[in-house]
Amino acid sequence: MAGIPAYIQIREVLRNRIVQGKYRPHERLPGETALAEEFSVTRMTLRRAVDDLVAEGLLYRSRGRGTFVRARPARADHSRLQSFCDANRALQRTPSSRLLEARALVPDPTVSEALEIDHGQPVFRIVRVRLADNEPVAYHEAYVPCHLIPDMLEKNVEDSLYAIYREYGLTPTTGEQVVEARSVGGEIARHLGLAAPHPVLYVERISRAASEVPVEFLRAYYRADRYSLYMVLKA
Amino acid sequence: MAGIPAYIQIREVLRNRIVQGKYRPHERLPGETALAEEFSVTRMTLRRAVDDLVAEGLLYRSRGRGTFVRARPARADHSRLQSFCDANRALQRTPSSRLLEARALVPDPTVSEALEIDHGQPVFRIVRVRLADNEPVAYHEAYVPCHLIPDMLEKNVEDSLYAIYREYGLTPTTGEQVVEARSVGGEIARHLGLAAPHPVLYVERISRAASEVPVEFLRAYYRADRYSLYMVLKA
DNA sequence: AAGTGGTCTAGACCACCTC
DNA sequence: AGGTGGTCTAGACCACTTA
């Protein structure tokens, strides 16, 4: 089918069977040999598909017993890199934005270093309030090197920036982030609809394209009552 | 060598070469064919080893170009499941604890559900202040089903609980956690050496053994100024 | 054109768990 | 004993990047 690798197609079929409850929580899946036969692939290819779902935390394997569906409340997994829009759609919330600022400037050294550009090089600064179902959830300050996307300001900068990066072949594929607890007041609290001071999750994130080039540096403040991080951990 | 899978041995050899700087940041590794030959294994097996290091964020691949060493400041990665003690040793801090409470009780339904036990079943409740280099960092409330480790209270409950789990063949291998920002006051703030109220990272974590049995449910409060989460993200 | 990583095949033997 | 997942081989063809 259309050049998409077999293991990805199989992975998505299996994912659908899980989320649609065709394979129920704690239920054993058919053996790998049986599934490989069903999809007409080698066991190695079938395993490649299951590997991904295990890494995502949807399935778990037990040697000698089988592969099982993990019983879990539906949650957005934040150990994956995804945009605010995608994350909210996954939670069946409608994302939107309020644009506060969009201009080019020379950033402070912290930003230059995070983006791995020389000090003095200009960046775009996009400040937005992010809403879910029309309720303010986060205050986002995004920084993007001007040389990567010269005509950024002519784009629709109010919606997903990730869509713009994609147009330029700079789809973010990896990233790192640091999460802290902070208390905010003043302007940011006001934009979030909070009486200051209030605890927030403060996130700094670097998003990188496949070539490892830093595409975006983000400083984000999330309302504690409307946002939490969920992650699956492995030893 | 001693029944350890080839891909794990190769992975550790490669890891050493990276941390010891034999392969330098941003440097291209030898091709997969060359490395497979060096270790006298198939390319598939070699790839299995490299897959792990890529997942850990030590390496990255670029189709058509090669496999490269990621240049990153050393940080503790919190997308892995590890005990407070191990996490601190990785940061070269000396961990210690102050035991506040250790007793059996019937927990509230939230705890029973997290541990997947029937309501009314007893659990051990271990409350500790965790310190790094003798400074309070976290307030931990751990819950462990009594039937899993009957003589828990006779063990050294002040140090790593993970060591006790291991004795019983219940080494935690997976887990899930939710991270929130909160403000704490009262007793907890006092134990953390804080003038109330103060923002903290609030973490709820379920740790599971290989069999998926929940071994521990943890409620933790981390001082915002002494603890942050660092994670590597993938698309 | 040559080298790189991405995918895939068709087998094999093993350790482990359950019956 | 039979089924399960864990590991491994020895090839193959492809898309992509760089020179």
pLDDT in tens, chain A (235 residues): 668 999 999 999 999 999 888 998 888 999 999 999 999 999 999 999 999 998 877 888 988 999 999 876 445 667 778 888 888 887 778 899 999 999 999 999 999 989 988 889 999 999 999 999 999 999 999 999 999 998 899 988 888 899 899 888 888 888 888 899 998 888 999 999 988 788 899 999 999 887 778 999 999 999 988 888 888 777 7
Q: Does strand D come within 7 Å of the CB of A186?
A: no
CB B141, CB B127: distance < 8 Å: yes
Q: Could you give the residue ranges of the DSSP H alpha helices within A126-232? A: 161-167, 186-191
A91–B contact, CB cutoff 8 A: no
> Which residue, among A99, A116, A94, A98, has the nearest Cα to A107 in the 3D structure?
A116
pLDDT for res B85: 87
Helix, coil or strand: residue B142? strand
Beta-ladder partners of A182: A200
Radius of gyration of chain B (CA): 21
Nearby residues of A6 by Cβ (< 8 Å), 6 or more positions away: A39, A41, A45
**What is the distance between the alpha carbons of residues B60 and B53, in angstroms, rounded to a whole number?**
8
> How do beta strands B172-184 and B198-209 pair?
antiparallel
Q: pTM, whole model, 2 decimals?
A: 0.78
Q: CA of B28 and C1' of C6: distance in angstroms?
A: 18
Q: CA of B54 and C1' of C5: distance in angstroms?
A: 13
Task: Work out the end-to-end distance of chain A between its first and last CA atoms, rounded to an integer number of angstroms.
Answer: 36
A181–B contact, CB cutoff 8 A: yes
* Higher pLDDT among residues B55 and B53, named by residue: B53
The Cβ-side half-sphere exposure at A220, using a 13 Å CA radius, reads: 26
CB A145, CB A125: distance < 8 Å: no
Q: CA of A3 and C1' of D13: distance in angstroms?
A: 14
Mean pLDDT of B109-137: 92
Question: Is A234–B80 a contact, with Cβ atoms under 8 angstroms apart?
Answer: yes
